[in-house]
Amino acid sequence: MKISVFGMGYVGCVSAACFADQGHEVIGVDVNPQKLAMINRGESPIIEPGLDEMLKKVVSAGKLRVTDSADEAVRGSDVSMVCVGTPSRANGSLDTHYLDRVMEQIGAAIADVDFFHVVAVRSTLLPGFVKDRIIPLLENASGKKAGEGFGVCVNPEFLRESTAIKDFQNPPFTLIGQFDQRSGDVLAGAYSFLEAPVHRTEPDAASMVKYASNAYHALKVAFANEIGAICNELDIDSQRVMEVFAEDKSLNISKAYLRPGYAFGGSCLPKDVRALLYAAKHRDLHTPLISSLLPSNDEHIQRAFAKVTGFGKRNVAILGLSFKPGTDDLRESPQVRLAEMLIGKGYKLRIFDEEVSLSNLFGRNREYIEKVLPHINELMHTELGEVLAESEVVVVGKRMKNHEQILALLRPDQIVVDLEIHDTEWQPARKEQIV
């Protein structure tokens, strides 16, 4: 394919060299004449292992050339990959002036071409940005309509400086946020040499995957450092702790606990987070990340409460009271917290959970629920039909075994707030969720 790369910085230089190395014909565009001169000599303008050699090879083979003319680049390529910087402003918002300028230039060039040119935004941009700002800029400058006269995709990049070539050649996946199928097809062609899976999503979902990834990486570093700092205070070898920790690929380093749903609870997580925080505090150690876990969880329960009470209906059912399916453990169940809050505000609450039998609750589990919901006997019902018949809002707190029976009893005038299970439909009732 013929590919233009706008912005010959870290991302652009590596991408341009790697695409050219795969046999694509690449035109690199930058406003910086020194960078262009260096690349023309086959020298890398950035320090990146292996890039000098690769640039030398592809430039001398005539597979990569550079220019400062957007017009020339767009005319000579099927796709423009935009990799200009999107730095932070002082308030955290994105400074997009480089991007705005590039889009005006590309748009003006698109006005003069008679083929379907695709603009792929590789710069990291917040969701909504491409639709609300980039597309209008391109449409104004080109006088053409996106999806008809030209194509647009969001195509985030995941490479890391210092291992950029290896990362580019072995990505976890290729992510194409497409506004239309045709644009996505053109862009997918540029990556056909990679074996990694290709995910084609809504444009905003693609932008969000990039932010979720970087936020998660930051979270991991901060978490490891806080655990390390606690270890240090306790004279424990933090390297050994995290080495063993990371060996658990079923819960720790895995998909587990990464599905958006309802708050955590139960007899272990809240208690153990509190104990760890106590140990840190006891040693005057400030651990803001771990300290934020319980408040963050509570915030999520508040979101559920705001959702349930936002409909202006007073009759509420909670289906599923224990903290997860397959247990009758009510200790620190976030559904119990929600019930407590609703009762506190005078809502008429009915609870159904076939896994919880009050007469079979013993010990701490019983003590807990009697303390938190003293009138639990009056709230818990054993007849699902009776609970649903009287309720306007039905909160589903966990996967229910009797799903079919619930569906048969729901009415179109009811609202189901599904806190956990997003692959489930609740028709004829209206489905609402908090994540």
Ligand X SMILES: NC(=O)c1ccc[n+]([C@@H]2O[C@H](COP(=O)([O-])OP(=O)(O)OC[C@H]3O[C@@H](n4cnc5c(N)ncnc54)[C@H](O)[C@@H]3O)[C@@H](O)[C@H]2O)c1
Q: Kindly list the residues in this chain that would bind ligand X in the complex (CB under 6 A).
A: 6-12, 29-32, 35, 83-86, 98, 101-102, 123-124, 157, 159-161
CB of 64 to ligand X, least distance (A): 15
Partners of 154 in the β-ladder = 121, 177
Cβ distance 317 to 394 under 8 Å?
yes
Q: Which of 344, 350, 429, 353 is nearest to 398 (CA)?
A: 353
CB of 114 to ligand X, least distance (A): 23
Phi-psi region of 257 (alpha: psi -120 to 50; beta: other; left: phi over 0): left
CB of 212 to ligand X, least distance (A): 14
Residue nearest to ligand X (CB): 9
Token duo for residue 435: 């994540």
Helix (H, G, I), strand (E, B) or coil at 25: strand
CB of 202 to ligand X, least distance (A): 20
Return d(Cα 227, Cα 133) in angstroms, integer: 42
**What residues contact 317, with CB distance under 8 A and at least 6 apart?**
349, 350, 351, 352, 387, 388, 390, 391, 393, 394, 395
**Which CB, 160 or 375, lies closer to ligand X?**
160
Q: Which of 156, 139, 261, 153 is nearest to 202 (CA)?
A: 153
Cβ distance 52 to 43 under 8 Å?
yes
**Which CB, 6 or 352, lies closer to ligand X?**
6
CB of 185 to ligand X, least distance (A): 24
Partners of 25 in the β-ladder = 2
Backbone angles phi, psi at 279, to 5 degrees: -60, -40
Return d(Cα 256, Cα 269) in angstroms, integer: 14
- What single-letter amino acid sits at 53? E
Return d(Cα 285, Cα 278) in angstroms, integer: 10
Cβ distance 379 to 373 under 8 Å?
yes
Q: What is the DSSP pairing of strand 79-82 with strand 2-6?
A: parallel
- What single-letter amino acid sits at 376? I
Backbone angles phi, psi at 401, to 5 degrees: -65, -40
CB of 167 to ligand X, least distance (A): 9
**Which CB, 220 or 274, lies closer to ligand X?**
220
**Which CB, 161 or 299, lies closer to ligand X?**
161
Question: Which residues are known catalytic residues?
Answer: 268
Q: For residue 131, give the DSSP letter.
A: I
Return d(Cα 399, Cα 320) in angstroms, integer: 8
- Give CA separation, 297 vs 187, 269, 291, 292, 330, in Å: 40, 11, 11, 9, 17
**What residues contact 243, with CB distance under 8 A and at least 6 apart?**
none
